[in-house]
Amino acid sequence: MSSDIIGNSLRKYYKTFGMVNEGPPENLNISELFPSAINVDDINLIDRICNDSDAVNKFKECKDLVEKVANLLGDSNFMKEIDDSIINCTKSDKDHLTNGIFWHYLAYMLDPNLQKEFGYEIPIPGPLSDVTKKLLKVQGSLIFRLYISLVYMKEGPLIKMINQTAINQKPISQIGKKLFRCDYVRHLRNALAHSTFESTSFGIYFNDYGKFDTVASPEFLNFLTTWIMHLNLQCSMVIDFKI
């Protein structure tokens, strides 16, 4: 079998920055089957990112925190933390959470992977290939979800509640606070806010004004936004009983 330069770069990238089973399998020679599917600049980009120890370490820290949050939100303990610590909350707080959760759901429904399940298809005008259209839909859904999760929701009632609860040494809230404050999330939020991100063949490239750059895989971004919104949803449920 001939050397698979493209496939090896992709496998290394997804192994470093992706989720389980994301990326091409070991026995598939991407260079032979799809020699021009991915341009050289994109391959050079992920090769550089994979060799950037700062990008790798910040990603690992973020992924570890998301996994901890995911493992701790399976019961009502986080809601109890919030309920015990929050004395006053406003209708504006409730509306902020409700709006963000609803908009996140709408953005999630744009994912073409849900089209068969729900029996709909969002048309995209223009002479684009089916592969390109699907890529744009997947990444568009993720961008909208990220913006709601990391920009709109970041300075809202969720972080206010987590900060108040973390002061009381509540363990889940402390981990949630660390997730929002970790460097990886901070850089993604800055890139979103300043529009310094772009689509690539295998993920979304974020550049925080040259201070940090990375390529985030679709499955990891889905993982990140899903559990941040679970934090918001549980906070919203607590507020519903207080107002």
Q: What is the pLDDT of residues 177-215, one digit of tens each?
A: 999 999 999 999 999 999 999 998 889 999 999 899 999
User: Do residues 45 and 79 share a domain?
Assistant: no
User: Do residues 196 and 148 share a domain?
Assistant: yes
Residue 87 pLDDT class (50, 70, 90 cuts): low
SS3 label, residue 76: coil
SS3 label, residue 129: coil
pLDDT at 17: 97
pLDDT at 6: 81
What are the residues whose beta carbons fall under 8 Å from the beta carbon of 3, sequence distance 6 or more?
Answer: 31
Residue 1 has pLDDT above 50, yes or no: no
The residue among 51, 69, 91 that closes a domain is: 51
Number of domains in the chain: 2
Across 52-63, average pLDDT? 98
User: Do residues 38 and 140 share a domain?
Assistant: no
Residue 89 has pLDDT above 90, yes or no: no
User: Do residues 91 and 41 share a domain?
Assistant: no
Where b means 16+ CB within 10 Å and e means fewer, 18-56 reads beeebbbeeeebbbeeeeeebeeebbebbeebbeeeebe
Identify whether the C-beta of residue 173 lies closer than 8 Å to the C-beta of residue 82: yes
Across 127-144, average pLDDT? 89
Identify whether the C-beta of residue 65 lies closer than 8 Å to the C-beta of residue 182: yes
SS3 label, residue 34: coil
The answer to whether the Cα torsion of 172, 178, 184, 187 is positive or negative is: positive
Q: How many CA atoms lie within 13 A of 173 on its CB side?
A: 26
pLDDT at 223: 97
pLDDT at 37: 64
Residue 49 pLDDT class (50, 70, 90 cuts): very high
pLDDT at 27: 81
Phi/psi at 20 (nearest 5 deg)?
Answer: -60, 135
Across 15-34, average pLDDT? 83
* Identity of residue 42: D
Helices (H) and strands (E) in the chain, counts: 12, 3
pLDDT at 35: 64
Looking at per-residue pLDDT, the higher value among 238 and 37 belongs to 238
- % residues pLDDT > 90 (the chain): 54
User: Do residues 62 and 38 share a domain?
Assistant: no
User: Do residues 66 and 182 share a domain?
Assistant: yes
Identify whether the C-beta of residue 193 lies closer than 8 Å to the C-beta of residue 151: yes
What are the residues whose beta carbons fall under 8 Å from the beta carbon of 45, sequence distance 6 or more?
Answer: 200, 205, 215
What are the residues whose beta carbons fall under 8 Å from the beta carbon of 132, sequence distance 6 or more?
Answer: none
Across 59-75, average pLDDT? 96
Identify whether the C-beta of residue 184 lies closer than 8 Å to the C-beta of residue 58: yes
* Identity of residue 87: I
The residue among 15, 32, 51 that closes a domain is: 51
User: Do residues 104 and 40 share a domain?
Assistant: no
User: Do residues 183 and 223 share a domain?
Assistant: yes
pLDDT at 36: 65
- % residues pLDDT > 70 (the chain): 94
User: Do residues 4 and 65 share a domain?
Assistant: no
pLDDT at 114: 85
Residue 143 pLDDT class (50, 70, 90 cuts): very high
User: Do residues 119 and 160 share a domain?
Assistant: yes
N- to C-terminal Cα distance for the chain?
66
pTM as predicted: 0.90
Residue 16's domain spans which residues?
1-51
